[in-house]
A = this chain, B = another copy of it.
Amino acid sequence: MATIAQIQDMALFRGLTAEQLQELASIVVEKTFRRGQTIFREGEEGKGFYVVGFGKVKIYKLSRDGKEQILHIFGPGEPFAEVPVFAGQCYPANAEALEESRLWFIPRVGFIELIRRQPSLALNMLAVLSRRLRQLAALVEDLSLKEVPARLAAYLLYTADQKGSLEFDLDIPKTQLANLLGTTPETLSRLLSRFAKEGFIESSGPKITLLDKKGLQALAAGLRRLPA
């Protein structure tokens, strides 16, 4: 059970009446997870979806031999695992808390009832899924059409933009970043060195400073190639 104040802040639930918010609050279940704890596994039956209260959650696929590809990382306010609510009923990927996290679980049945009675909620959810599709299409594009240096450059630029500063700390461990970029920790490490050697960035531990934004943009677009 969550408070109405917490719920009505979230974009997904914009447009609901006070009454409907109340109804929603009454079916929401709060769950907390420790760092590293599994939230659900691919193939498990999904009886509802989640919204992140605080913390960070990764959604990922695993290969037979344990290699991991992260599909998304979700933070506060973001819903995830909606797919089994509307199609199939099993989760299409795994979910794990990257840090101590508080999640709200919204059961399928009650939520679908709510959608039936409130078209704006349906449209909000359609918007969420559409944005998700856009993101996944971009991930496919990155993995298939771009090289690792381009992906890393794009990630650094994006993160700097998010943080609003050229100097920032990576907010996930480098191993996780490697998995998100579809590469290995070794390759990531080498690339950061090369970026630094070429004067694109400065880096020490999780701290990154972008020195040459134009250059990184050219790398991200595949216009420039990194010297061996």
Contacts and interface: CB of A to CB of B under 8 A. Distances in A.
Nearest to A134: B92
Contacts of A62: 145
Copies of this protein chain in the complex? 2
Interface stretch (A26-34, A96-104, A118-126, A164-172): A118-126
Contacts of A138: 92
Nearest to A117: B119
Interface stretch (A1-9, A63-71, A186-194, A207-215): A63-71
B86 A126 contact: yes
Interface residues of A, number: 48
B69 A141 contact: yes
Contacts of A145: 61-63, 67, 69
A223 B71 CA distance: 24
A119 B61 CA distance: 32
A52 to B, nearest CB: 18
Q: Which 3 A-B pairs have the closest CB atoms?
A: A122-B122, A87-B130, A63-B145
